[in-house]
Amino acid sequence: MNYLSDIKEILYSPRDIDERIQGLAKQIQTDYNGEDVVIISILKGSFIFTSDLIRYINLRLTIDFIHVSSYREGMTSKELIINKGLSSNINNKHVLLIDDIIDTGNTLKQVKEILTKENPLSIKTCVLYNKPSGRKVEMVADYVAYDVGNYFIVGYGLDYNEKYRNLPFVGILREEAITKI
């Protein structure tokens, strides 16, 4: 099956994303001002974004991953399940938490709360996409690459039913593709 034919519109090309990420990395590097940072990437959606972003950040950083799932009831994500926790100690460290997209806000808010209990020196959040129209809980990410409208996007790590993560661009899925999976 060819993924490309399932895409209605390409929103961000690989070049667009690369340029924006370089800008974001520069801002992060300036803000942390030479401090060491622990990058925590929320799997699976942010794995491509994280790997591209960190290569533009010239700081002494370490990387860890947390894998969570949220069980949705209707349109609202409910309880958060941790499939894989951290493998490092973040006590007294500067933490930068990275996710692919903030929609209802539940995932990032809950993961931030869980990590805050481990007493990091600071904790900030960074997302590739912010969908303000989806917000159900109060949550503002510290770093946002793009604000997006009220549509479902895939590619560059973002999935629909675990598919399309490997598309090199970000696009809107065709209605027909949603029903055929």
Pick what 77 binds: Mg ion, ligand IMP, none; C-beta below 5 to 8 Å, kind-dependent: ligand IMP
Single residue of 41, 50, 104, 125 touching ligand IMP by CB under 6 A: 104
Q: Give the shortest CB-121-to-ligand IMP separation in angstroms.
A: 25
> In the complex with ligand IMP, which residue's Cβ is closer, 58 or 168?
168
Pick what 142 binds: Mg ion, ligand IMP, none; C-beta below 5 to 8 Å, kind-dependent: none
The helix/strand/coil state of 92 is coil
Tokens matching residue 68 = 């969570």
- Residue 153 found at the interface with ligand IMP (CB under 6 A): yes
Nearest-angstrom CA–CA distance, 171 and 43? 20
**136-172 in b/e burial notation, b at 16+ Cβ within 10 A?**
eeebebebbbbebeeeebbbbbbebeeebbebebbbb
64 is annotated as an active-site residue: no
**25-60 in b/e burial notation, b at 16+ Cβ within 10 A?**
beebbeebeeeebbbbbbbbbbbbbbebbbeebebe
Binding mask 46-85 for ligand IMP (x = CB under 6 A): ------------------------x------x--------
Residues between 92 and 151 that touch Mg ion (CB under 5 A): none
**Residue type for 123, please?**
I
Single residue of 106, 128, 143, 177 touching ligand IMP by CB under 6 A: 106
Catalytic residue positions, numbered: 103
Residues of this chain that bind ligand IMP (CB under 6 A): 45, 70, 77, 99-107, 131, 152-154, 158
